[in-house]
Structure 1
Amino acid sequence: MSTSSMTRTPSMPEQILVVDDERDMRLLLRYQLELEGYTITEASDGKSALKLLRECTPSLIITDVRMPFMSGLELLREVKQALPTTEVIVATGYAEVETAIECMRAGAFDLIRKPFDIHEMYSCVARALDRYRLNASADLVRTSQSFFATNEFERLPQAIVEGSRGLMSADAVVLLMPDAQGRLELAHAHGLSSEAEAAKLRELGERVVQALPTNRTPALAVPGLPDDRLGLVRELGMDTSLILYPLVVGERVLGVLGLMRRAAPRLFTKKDLDRVAVLASHVVLALENGRLACQLAASERLATLGQVAAGIGHEINNPSAYVLSNLSYIREQVTALREGALVDLVELEQAVLDAREGALRISDIVRDMRSIARTDEEAGGWFDLNEAIRSALRIARVETTRRAIVQADLLDGLEVRGSPGPVSQVFVNLLVNAAQALEGWQGSRREIRVTTRREEGRAVIKVSDTGPGIPPELLPRLFQPFFPTKGSTGTGLGLSISRNILRRFGGDIEVSSVPGDGTVFTVSLPTRPVAEG
């Protein structure tokens, strides 16, 4: 392969570590590979190579098999354990099949014969580095996808920590985020050895944040090379290396991502900062996306309430008029009693009961609205699922009854764990969607049906309508955020939020639809075993 056919980035040359006990062989490889634009580091044996890995993280290692102190096969195994993404080419002058098999099993990229054909060497190096870059990019993409696949903001810190730990091969990772007073608190961590270690990382994170007005660069602390902002970090261990990356949008601090390696030869290097910089940009996007999703979820809940507000006003107006009418009658009868007139006490008592019934109806409506407006989605404990469904039926009644016949067949005794407010919100959304699907529909049947049953330890709820159905090509995208099903009138968040709520409580939601023959949403939630009741 010619020099002109190999693309290099002048500012960031690939780093290759050449390990061979023959000085002339090291010099030959160094000369040839530096001509191709690579940065070359040399080691005369495996143990020396491991020491060098404290200071650098090469993309590729080219090692001889037979060397004093440590063989190339032993070095290969050590490298793959410490730096699994680094590719290793094993060079040997001995064509031993068993050696080749052992090297490939241990993770070698390829085995090449000495003396080298230089063009074969160029080709092998280029292919190894291509795989290194491809794997690095694929790992970053998978990690980023894991962030954005987590639609629940409460679980996002955990996804960030776990993804960052795997991507950077870190022993410990922390995500520090500001509390209401702006102080950094541990949002999530993995691999910390003690509370004292967590407290130390919070302290160091605060130092990085305090220095942001003059220094926005990430902090890298390794043995013998401390960062001015961090000082000595010996409390974390003599062989510990640490990266603290500030997560900032404009002047707003989202937090600090901390990554730690505790032992040689796996110390972080300046090259790792480049990788963390890309990772941090994805973390910032995920956190901002999560924050906006939370705001939109709150807006969606308010939009749901606003959508049924007019109907709720009508629902309250009827019993209010009923209460006022009966109270007026009661007042007239009480006045008559004071004047000594005869009063039908049976009718008076019935008026009191009627007024009470109307007031209770208003109370039920207000309770339903307060329940769906609550945001304590993590509240635990068992509650009656049917009560949450009936609440949703009452709230959505004006939307549903003017467009369809509503039928409910609810099995008694179904209790699920969670919070009734968010669960009611799910069913209000499904009922309103069903009603809107039937608006203008010219089919012979205009029905909405809600059924509940117990099935293998789960409560299964079906909300179905006899509307026009959903086109098959839209079904796979129905629960994606920002995919509207109501044209320009919807946010495209209702079903996505509903699924997140249900999954938070261990449940899920599915949809089936036949164009021209209606749609069925099937909700499932873990139900309390009958024996526990």
Structure 2
Amino acid sequence: MPEQILVVDDERDMRLLLRYQLEQEGYQIAEASDGKVALRVLQECSPGVIITDVRMPFMSGLELLREVKQASPNIEVIVATGYAEVETAIECLRAGAFDLVRKPFDIHEMYSCVARAVDRYRLNASADMVRMSQSFFATSEFSRIPQSIVEGSQNLMASDAALLAIPDMNGQLQLAHARGLSSEAEATLLRGLCEQVAQALAVDRTPALMGPGLLDRRLGNVVGLGKGSAIFYPLAVGDRLLGVLCLLRRDNQRIFGKRDLDRAAVLSSHVVLALENGRLACQLAASEQLATLGQVAAGIGHEINNPTAYIQSNLDFVDQQLRSLRDGKPVDLDEVALAVKDAREGAHRISDIVRDMRALARTDEDEAGGWFNLNDAIRSALRIARMETTQQASVHAELIDGLVVKGNPGPVSQVFVNLLVNAAQAIAEGAGERKEIRIIARRESDQAVIEVSDTGPGIPPERLHRLFQPFFTTKGTGTGLGLSISRNIVRRFGGDISVRSVPGDGTVFTVSLPAQAQTGS
């Protein structure tokens, strides 16, 4: 749409001249006779450029410039000055004026200045949109996408508050993230209005704009926002509702207008892409978890077969002894008791494996977990990945007792399964004679530090910084999500994961988790 320009001058003829000339160039023109009138006009329109005289009654051009830059710093302001106002002109430049135009001005000079101001306004607006969009897709922690959307939208739209509501499993809108809300009552009010916009999606997909003198039939008569204004933007793909984005301005000097709606339309398209990207990424994360289970399934089958055969042979022995007892033959009860004990140990072994697999397959990502013995999670990972690792290398574990960490044992075990399987695959690709995987745990102050190292070929330096990026892989197969998911898990529990590697000398992944304080002297 044509760029809108606000002309502020107390001389009516000057305003009419600029209106006529600039409309010939394709711009939309709004007028104000002084600075105070200009501030009222700004409540109804959102110009990209303001042309203002310096000397005006009620409010000078310099005062107007400062007010505009404080409320809407993205608007470019051109100041028209007389030849005797050099000091004032310098103050205007310091206050953020785009340029100065001497009065009486040459119209071609004005054309050039306005065109440059419009270009910079559009360039800055586009750059802001690009930076915001990049922030949406930059996060590798998919659970943080709503937070990134809210923060980026609030900054881009210069709103006092923003919230994103997304539907839960039952289709009810729930607050995914909010920023800048003043109270619980305000949050409840805005979430309720988001729900009303969502319910009308089938018949009306346009954004709802509310403010002084603005009513939307979907929202009804709303009280509680005072003199502020708000935009409620429904986010949908086809007939599927992804959520509702709400933007709020409390200042009646900066109410949302038509241009803000246009900008919000572009914003919403980026938000929809980000939400869809997050949904697909979460689905891939779930498939990555299943892929991990599938990758170790053959080994798990072998691990279960061994104790099953052990149980079977011991039960056969007990059955044979019982038949001998019925026939009146002598039976060594101690041997029978030992066979029963061995069969029970085999059953416990199978139970441990099943428990390990159930823990690894859990998908309750939102469960923060509590304190648990880290050795249990590491040993579980070693059992699950045993066939995958021992076929490629000798595995050495150096654990310490009493290392209790914060988190959930299932997801933490998944982290170590990923690292152990990656280590085994790295060693399989290498050509060195020394094939070894080590997992070493230690305490450092209030942190549990676990190193998983291998003697594989190492990782080139140019690839190290990308290892934790989603979908990046150094292998020819896989989704490239394993390490990204592992880091998300560890960070969710307050820890972190890092890597160091020397080509030809193996790789070391270091996991840190908050550790419970030691008791006793």
Name the TM tier (shorter chain).
over 0.9
Per-residue displacement from partner, 1:158-191 (whole Å, max 9, x unpaired)?
2211211111111222212122222222222223
Aligned residue number for residue 474 of structure 2: 485
Aligned residue number for residue 374 of structure 1: 362
Aligned residue number for residue 349 of structure 2: 361
Question: What is the 5 A alignment of 1:75-86?
Answer: 75-86=64-75
Q: TM-score w.r.t. structure 2 length?
A: 0.94
1:315 counterpart = 2:303: yes
Q: Secondary structure at the match of 1:330?
A: helix
Aligned residue number for residue 295 of structure 1: 283
Does the 8 A contact of 2:318 with 2:336 survive in 1? yes
Q: Tell me the distance in 2 between the aligned counterparts of 1:109 and 1:504.
A: 46
Does the 8 A contact of 1:460 with 1:525 survive in 2? yes
Q: Tell me the distance in 1 between the aligned counterparts of 2:512 and 2:441.
A: 10
Does the 8 A contact of 1:95 with 1:113 survive in 2? no
Aligned residue number for residue 6 of structure 1: none
Aligned residue number for residue 8 of structure 1: none
Aligned residue number for residue 243 of structure 1: 231
1:348 counterpart = 2:336: yes
With over 3 angstroms needed to count, the CA separation of the structure-2 counterparts of 1:289 and 1:532, relative to structure 1, is farther
Does the 8 A contact of 1:376 with 1:419 survive in 2? no
Question: What is the 5 A alignment of 1:38-57?
Answer: 38-57=27-46
Q: Report the Cα offset of residue 309 of structure 1.
A: 0.8
Correspondent of 1:119 among 85, 103, 108: 108
Runs (5+) with no aligned partner, structure 2: none
Does the 8 A contact of 1:175 with 1:188 survive in 2? yes
Correspondent of 1:515 among 503, 512, 515: 503
1:393 counterpart = 2:382: yes
Q: Report the Cα offset of residue 312 of structure 1.
A: 0.4
Does the 8 A contact of 2:81 with 2:89 survive in 1? no
1:445 counterpart = 2:440: no
Correspondent of 1:185 among 170, 174, 177: 174
Alignment size in residue pairs: 520
Aligned residue number for residue 488 of structure 2: 500
Runs (5+) with no aligned partner, structure 1: 1-11
Q: Secondary structure at the match of 1:477?
A: coil
1:454 counterpart = 2:454: no
Q: Report the Cα offset of residue 336 of structure 1.
A: 3.1
Aligned residue number for residue 9 of structure 1: none
Q: Report the Cα offset of residue 530 of structure 1.
A: 2.8
Q: Tell me the distance in 2 between the aligned counterparts of 1:397 and 1:531.
A: 34
Amino acid at match of 1:413: G
Q: Tell me the distance in 2 between the aligned counterparts of 1:373 and 1:473.
A: 34
Aligned residue number for residue 156 of structure 1: 145
Q: Secondary structure at the match of 1:140?
A: helix
Q: Tell me the distance in 2 between the aligned counterparts of 1:523 and 1:106.
A: 50
Per-residue displacement from partner, 1:404-434 (whole Å, max 9, x unpaired)?
1111122333222111111111111111111
Correspondent of 1:425 among 406, 411, 414: 414
Aligned residue number for residue 69 of structure 1: 58
Aligned residue number for residue 5 of structure 1: none
Q: Report the Cα offset of residue 250 of structure 1.
A: 0.7
Aligned residue number for residue 215 of structure 1: 204
Does the 8 A contact of 2:429 with 2:457 survive in 1? no
Aligned residue number for residue 23 of structure 2: 34
Q: Secondary structure at the match of 2:224?
A: helix
Aligned residue number for residue 92 of structure 1: 81
Aligned residue number for residue 464 of structure 2: 475
Q: Tell me the distance in 2 between the aligned counterparts of 1:316 and 1:15.
A: 73
Q: Indicate the RMSD between aligned Cα atoms, in angstroms.
A: 2.0
Correspondent of 1:275 among 235, 240, 263: 263
Aligned residue number for residue 244 of structure 2: 256
Q: Report the Cα offset of residue 71 of structure 1.
A: 1.6
Q: Tell me the distance in 2 between the aligned counterparts of 1:317 and 1:40.
A: 82
Q: Report the Cα offset of residue 456 of structure 1.
A: 4.5
Does the 8 A contact of 1:469 with 1:514 survive in 2? yes
With over 3 angstroms needed to count, the CA separation of the structure-2 counterparts of 1:35 and 1:373, relative to structure 1, is same
Does the 8 A contact of 2:429 with 2:456 survive in 1? no
Q: Report the Cα offset of residue 531 of structure 1.
A: 5.2
Q: Report the Cα offset of residue 374 of structure 1.
A: 1.3
Q: Secondary structure at the match of 2:465?
A: helix
1:205 counterpart = 2:190: no
Amino acid at match of 1:260: L
Per-residue displacement from partner, 1:371-403 (whole Å, max 9, x unpaired)?
111123333312222221111111000000011
Amino acid at match of 1:391: S
Does the 8 A contact of 2:140 with 2:469 survive in 1? no
Q: Report the Cα offset of residue 32 of structure 1.
A: 2.6
Per-residue displacement from partner, 1:203-226 (whole Å, max 9, x unpaired)?
332332333333222122232232
Amino acid at match of 1:27: L
Q: Tell me the distance in 1 between the aligned counterparts of 2:493 and 2:109.
A: 58
Aligned residue number for residue 415 of structure 1: 404
Does the 8 A contact of 2:314 with 2:339 survive in 1? yes
Q: Secondary structure at the match of 1:509?
A: strand
Per-residue displacement from partner, 1:229-288 (whole Å, max 9, x unpaired)?
223333322x22221111110111111111122222211111111110111011111111
Q: Tell me the distance in 2 between the aligned counterparts of 1:458 and 1:61.
A: 57
Greater displacement, 60-69 / 406-415: 406-415
Q: Tell me the distance in 2 between the aligned counterparts of 1:422 and 1:227.
A: 47
Per-residue displacement from partner, 1:320-355 (whole Å, max 9, x unpaired)?
111121122123223433444332233223222212
Q: Secondary structure at the match of 1:236?
A: coil
Amino acid at match of 2:273: L
With over 3 angstroms needed to count, the CA separation of the structure-2 counterparts of 1:69 and 1:410, relative to structure 1, is same
1:144 counterpart = 2:133: yes
Amino acid at match of 2:58: F
